[in-house]
Amino acid sequence: MPSVDKSGGVGGPSSPPTSSPSRPLRPSRYIPVSAATAFLVGATTLFFCFTCPWLSEQFSMAIPVYNGVVFLFVLANFCMATFMDPGIFPRAEEDEDKEDDFRAPLYKTVEIRGIQVRMKWCATCRFYRPPRCSHCSVCDNCVEDFDHHCPWVNNCIGRRNYRYFFLFLLSLTAHIMAVFGFGLLFILYHKQKLDHVHSAVTMAVMCVAGLFFIPVAGLTGFHIVLVARGRTTNEQVTGKFRGGVNPFTNGCWRNVTHVLCSSQAPRYVGRWRKPQTVVVQPPFLRPQLSDTQMGGKVLDNGIQADRHSSRSSLDMMESQSADAEPPPPPKPELRYPGLNRGQMSLGPTEESSLLSEAPPTPTMYKYRPSYSSPGKNHTALTHSNKMIRGDSLKEPPSILQSSQQPSYRSEPSLDGREGQRERGDRERGGGGSGGMSSVPSSGISGYSLGGRSYPSFTDPMVLSGGASRSSSLRSTHTAHNALGTLHSEGTTSTSYKSLANQTPRNGSLSYDSLLTPSESPEFESAAPDAPPQVLGYSSPFLSAQIAHQRESELHQASAALLTSPQKSYVRASSPPPVEREREHLLPDSHQMPQQHSRPPRFSRPPLLSDSQPFSYRARSLGSPDAPQTPVSPSAVPAGSSHPPLGKSLSYTSAATELQYRSRPPEGAGSGGGIQAPKDEIQMKSFSRMNGHLRSSHPPLPPSSPPHSVSPSSRHGPANHITPPVSPTHKPGGAVKKVTGVGGTTYEISV
Amino acid sequence: ALPHLPALWSNTRKTHSLQDLRQQASIAAKVFVQRDYTTGTICQFQTKFPSELETRIDKQQFEETIRTLNNLYAEAEKLGGRSYLEGCLACVTAYTIFLCMETHYEKVLKKIAKYIQEQNDKIYAPRGLLLTDPIERGLRVVEITIFEDQSNGRIEGR
């Protein structure tokens, strides 16, 4: 067999340096593969020794030759499937992740053939997982085109070795059938000599063959269907494309040829790297700079592209047939349009009309001068630039606070907010934003607008926007909520990579992990620790106001959180106060858009009122789908266009918050029942959500089913809200982000 | 944490001799050109011109490089008669053929490495840039290292 590089393979504790760090020796990992090898080799050897001689004499030599060839094929494919590197991604280098963890979103959305797919941040490997990539917790590696982790070969099945695994299944089925068939033939001719050793052995071999035939044939049939449909086991089991469109399929014939006939994919780890021979020395050549080139710079290459693609695909998304799976609809896309709206509506009333017509960039440009001190602006803007992607914390608090304190619109508040925001960023990284002790989902509230990679949506804009109380705010709020929910979906519980990186839990789709959910309990325990951290971060500007505000909001938030849409949850916790709170909070949520300028980050609780859906999102840290869940009947659901995947609905609100703060989304999936694939495929299939939610949760813990009911009910209204959002925002595809003085980012449509 | 790797396998761009370090300019920033997934999971990189390179290289040149890389990767992943025959041969020989023969993909990867080396030598290094073969990053990004232009004291970067 060709030498293959497999991290943590049968070698035991010592693992190749290029893959993961050495893992503890777990002998239990080798039991299935040893058993499988023993049965395969042992039974076949017995067959060849006891059955074949008589068969070859009686009938022809072709029988053992045929069986030998098939067995050799089985062994070859088995070895390749076992020892070949499935397509492990090397860990990203540190400078690749130079974007601040605190501000980077958990999810990045990319459009594949018109379908939004979410790429999740892998805390262990330090990159956004490519589509179809998943992190295997057994092997502790991200694997390309992750299919599943097969215990029988003790290896992940991914892009590079799927073909061998598939052929192994096919050949093993043929081999079992041949052994059983020829054994039966032998027995039929030896009915009178059944007490002979040969007959007894043949019968034993037939029993083993018959025993293994059913599961192997079943698995083979399953994979034949998967290959024909162009899906991976991971995608099939998690129901990603249920009723939806699979962007990775090219038709049955092409799918089959891709699996069987494509060239062997290359290894990524353990490659020979040539030493760098190019010497780079100044002076350097410079291109001729034209005036058009002088200007701001695009904030982030990838994000920019994603944003553009996501924006342009927004309309496309709208028209996508409902499908599938839960993964929250492309929040970022919706986010942008909502943001624009928000910006437009949040701004001074006199400008709102202008804003509504103008493209987003000019709007923000307009708002910039209204910011407070330049120094503050600078810090705020620079922060906002970076926070583009993950400023969820900022958004929600402002919304809530705005609803709480309509009058809070003074300059100092803006400054304070900015200062707060900065701190909030740090805080976020540290321990989940606004971790109000009493509000388990405070972390979640941060999600509402989190993960938004809208660079130009800076804090100042929000602040200035908050001042106005135009009626359009309501719609904006809806949009915001929609966006927020969308974002929260994308960012799931933790909108920031920093939080994800704190706990390197990797949810991998392996059959073992499916059977042993172990995630939930940990979240519970994490909750108590979270709250104390938050309060310490209040900025000097807002300390008095915010602290006071927050406490009140905390109470409300906690209530709101409990009351959230997941009725099953709520009832479990504290139904009576929740009901009251919810009533109280619902009106507030409508006022939120107006109050954007509230000191935001710290006041997580305020967000809870309208970020109830967020709470679900937080819970669904592990499962990509969960986040968008069920939003309370308030305006928020309307905005949320993300179908609550509901996979992680089994967490309590406290647990959810904990997930947000301290647990990486991976592995946080609903009790580990099904580790939702890290890459979400966002489909806008609100109508399908109901079906999807329910059907996608069979492996989930018993508590999940009730949750799934509530989310599904939410999607209906959400569906209506979404369309209005998109038309307002039409990315021309030529929006240039310019960094101006003080770090403000403007979007200028080119 | 990244595992510690021996020098030959090291991820660092810098050479190891002191003299070389003195000669090599210092790294100012790195740009990562991400994958372009709009047409599926085939290996394509975004041709969008990163803003950080605006003052260092012509847009056309950059796009030309990326497009050529995309074409090469498309050729590597092409489902043609050649790859099919390779698969059949491997099957027939119980995959022992992989011990002696180089797969089609690997051959194209060698071509790509050569192309990148040539581009670095001719175009990017004189401009204070350095392309990294994306295979070192798992074909996820094309890493472009921007070196500090000490002659005029400007430092590029985010």
Burial class (CB in 10 A: 0-12, 13-18, 19+), A736: middle
Whole-angstrom Cα distance, residue A625 to residue A619?
A: 10
Contact A363, A344 (CB under 8 A): yes
Contact A261 B54 (CB under 8 A): no
Question: What pLDDT, on a 0 to 100 scale, did the predictor assign at position A283?
Answer: 76
Contact B46 A305 (CB under 8 A): yes
The 10s digit of each residue's pLDDT in A47-59 is 999 989 999 998 9
**Is residue B104 predicted with pLDDT exceeding 60?**
yes
Contact B141 A96 (CB under 8 A): yes
Residues paired with B31 in a beta bridge? B144
Question: What pLDDT, on a 0 to 100 scale, did the predictor assign at position B79?
Answer: 86
Question: What pLDDT, on a 0 to 100 scale, did the predictor assign at position A99?
Answer: 63
Question: What pLDDT, on a 0 to 100 scale, did the predictor assign at position A666?
Answer: 42
Is the model more confident about A303 or about A230? A230
Q: Assess if residue B31 is contained within a domain.
A: yes
Active site residue A150: yes
**Is residue A340 predicted with pLDDT exceeding 80?**
no
| Of the partner residues B54, B90, B158, the one whose CB lies closest to the CB of residue A293 | B54
| Of the partner residues A2, A248, A275, the one whose CB lies closest to the CB of residue B40 | A248
**Is residue A611 predicted with pLDDT exceeding 60?**
no
In chain B, the number of structural domains is: 1
Question: What pLDDT, on a 0 to 100 scale, did the predictor assign at position A97?
Answer: 74
Interface of B with A in 72-111 (CB under 8 A): 76-79, 82-84, 86-87, 90-91, 94-96, 98-99, 103-106, 109
Instruction: Give the pLDDT mean for A183-204.
Output: 90
Contact B138 A89 (CB under 8 A): yes
Question: What pLDDT, on a 0 to 100 scale, did the predictor assign at position A118?
Answer: 87
Contact A264 B105 (CB under 8 A): yes
Residue A113 touches partner B, C-beta closer than 8 Å: yes
Contact A96 B147 (CB under 8 A): no
Residue A580 touches partner B, C-beta closer than 8 Å: no
Residues of B with CB below 8 A from A90's CB? 136-138
> CA nearest A488: which of A630, A384, A310, A603?
A630
| Of the partner residues A132, A263, A280, the one whose CB lies closest to the CB of residue B83 | A263
Residue B36 touches partner A, C-beta closer than 8 Å: yes
Q: Assess if residue B154 is contained within a domain.
A: no
**Is residue A76 predicted with pLDDT exceeding 50?**
yes
Residues of B with CB below 8 A from A76's CB? 94-95
**Is residue B148 predicted with pLDDT exceeding 80?**
yes
Contact A45, A75 (CB under 8 A): no
The 10s digit of each residue's pLDDT in A642-696 is 444 434 333 344 444 433 333 444 444 343 334 444 444 444 433 344 444 344 4
* Residue of A125, A150, A156, A261 marked catalytic: A150
Question: What pLDDT, on a 0 to 100 scale, did the predictor assign at position A280?
Answer: 76
Contact A632, A613 (CB under 8 A): yes
Lowest mean pLDDT among A57-66, A102-111, A142-151, A289-298: A289-298
Q: Assess if residue B128 is contained within a domain.
A: yes
- The domain of B103 spans 5-48+56-148
Question: Please, which pLDDT band fits residue A740 given cuts at 50, 70 and 90?
Answer: low
Question: What pLDDT, on a 0 to 100 scale, did the predictor assign at position A46?
Answer: 93
CA distance A54 to chain B (A): 28
**Amino acid identity for residue A373 in this structure:** S
Whole-angstrom Cα distance, residue B133 to residue B45?
A: 12
**Is residue A361 predicted with pLDDT exceeding 70?**
no
- CA end-to-end span of chain A: 57
Lowest mean pLDDT among A171-180, A272-281, A391-400: A391-400
Residue A309 touches partner B, C-beta closer than 8 Å: yes
* Three-state DSSP state, B85: helix
Instruction: Give the pLDDT mean for A400-413.
Output: 42
Provide the token pair at B135.
């295979």
Q: Assess if residue B157 is contained within a domain.
A: no
Is the model more confident about A582 or about B127? B127
| Of the partner residues B32, B99, B137, the one whose CB lies closest to the CB of residue A2 | B99
Question: What pLDDT, on a 0 to 100 scale, did the predictor assign at position A480?
Answer: 43
Contact A485, A495 (CB under 8 A): no
Lowest mean pLDDT among A145-159, A395-409, A540-554, B5-19: A395-409
Contact A405, A362 (CB under 8 A): no
Give the CA radius of gyration of chain B: 18
Question: What pLDDT, on a 0 to 100 scale, did the predictor assign at position A704?
Answer: 39
Q: Assess if residue B74 is contained within a domain.
A: yes
Whole-angstrom Cα distance, residue B34 to residue A301?
A: 8
Contact A305 B11 (CB under 8 A): no
Contact A396, A445 (CB under 8 A): yes
Contact A150, A144 (CB under 8 A): no
Question: What pLDDT, on a 0 to 100 scale, did the predictor assign at position A508?
Answer: 44
Question: What does A667-703 look like in DSSP terms, one character per residue?
Answer: T-SGGGTS---SSEEE---HHHHHHHHHHT-TTS-TT
Mean pLDDT of chain A, nearest integer: 60
Question: How far does CA A210 lie from the centroid of its chain?
Answer: 41
| Of the partner residues A111, A271, A289, the one whose CB lies closest to the CB of residue B38 | A111
Instruction: Give the pLDDT mean for A126-136.
Output: 92
Is the model more confident about A156 or about A428? A156
Is the model more confident about B119 or about A631? B119
| Of the partner residues B11, B58, B90, the one whose CB lies closest to the CB of residue A93 | B11
| Inter-chain Cβ pairs, chain A and chain B, closer than 8 A | 203
The 10s digit of each residue's pLDDT in A547-579 is 455 555 555 544 444 444 444 433 444 444 444
Threshold 0.90, pTM exceeds: no
* Three-state DSSP state, A188: helix
Provide the token pair at A455.
């660079």
**Is residue A631 predicted with pLDDT exceeding 60?**
no
CA distance B71 to chain A (A): 16
Question: What pLDDT, on a 0 to 100 scale, did the predictor assign at position B40?
Answer: 87
Contact A112 B127 (CB under 8 A): no
**Residue A487: C-alpha distances to residues A389, A611, A713, B38, B99 (Å):** 10, 11, 20, 21, 49
Interface of A with B in 33-62 (CB under 8 A): none
Q: E strand or H helix at A707, and its extent?
A: helix A704-728
Question: What pLDDT, on a 0 to 100 scale, did the predictor assign at position A86?
Answer: 94
Residues of A with CB below 8 A from B110's CB? none
Residues paired with A128 in a beta bridge? A121
Whole-angstrom Cα distance, residue B80 to residue B78?
A: 6
Contact B139 A268 (CB under 8 A): yes
Interface of A with B in 399-418 (CB under 8 A): none
Residue A504 touches partner B, C-beta closer than 8 Å: no
Q: Assess if residue B153 is contained within a domain.
A: no
Question: Please, which pLDDT band fits residue A390 given cuts at 50, 70 and 90?
Answer: very low
Length of chain B: 158
**Is residue A177 predicted with pLDDT exceeding 90?**
yes
Whole-angstrom Cα distance, residue A647 to residue A665?
A: 12
**Is residue A150 predicted with pLDDT exceeding 80?**
yes
The 10s digit of each residue's pLDDT in A479-520 is 444 444 444 443 444 456 666 555 444 444 444 444 444 444
Contact B79 A93 (CB under 8 A): no
Contact A284 B56 (CB under 8 A): yes
**Is residue A733 predicted with pLDDT exceeding 70?**
no
* Torsion angle defined by CA atoms of residues A331, A334, A339 and A344, in that order, rounded to the nearest 10 degrees: -170
**Is residue A589 predicted with pLDDT exceeding 50?**
no
**Is residue A168 predicted with pLDDT exceeding 60?**
yes
CA distance B64 to chain A (A): 15
**Is residue A352 predicted with pLDDT exceeding 60?**
no
Q: Assess if residue B103 is contained within a domain.
A: yes
Provide the token pair at B137.
């990053």
Question: Please, which pLDDT band fits residue A43 given cuts at 50, 70 and 90?
Answer: very high
Task: Give the side-chain half-sphere CA count within 13 A for A372.
Answer: 19
CA distance A683 to chain B (A): 16
Contact A95 B109 (CB under 8 A): no
Contact A299, A737 (CB under 8 A): yes
Q: Assess if residue B20 is contained within a domain.
A: yes
| Of the partner residues A72, A91, A272, the one whose CB lies closest to the CB of residue B2 | A91
Whole-angstrom Cα distance, residue A627 to residue A485?
A: 8
**Is residue A734 predicted with pLDDT exceeding 70?**
no
* Torsion angle defined by CA atoms of residues A730, A731, A735 and A737, in that order, rounded to the nearest 10 degrees: 100
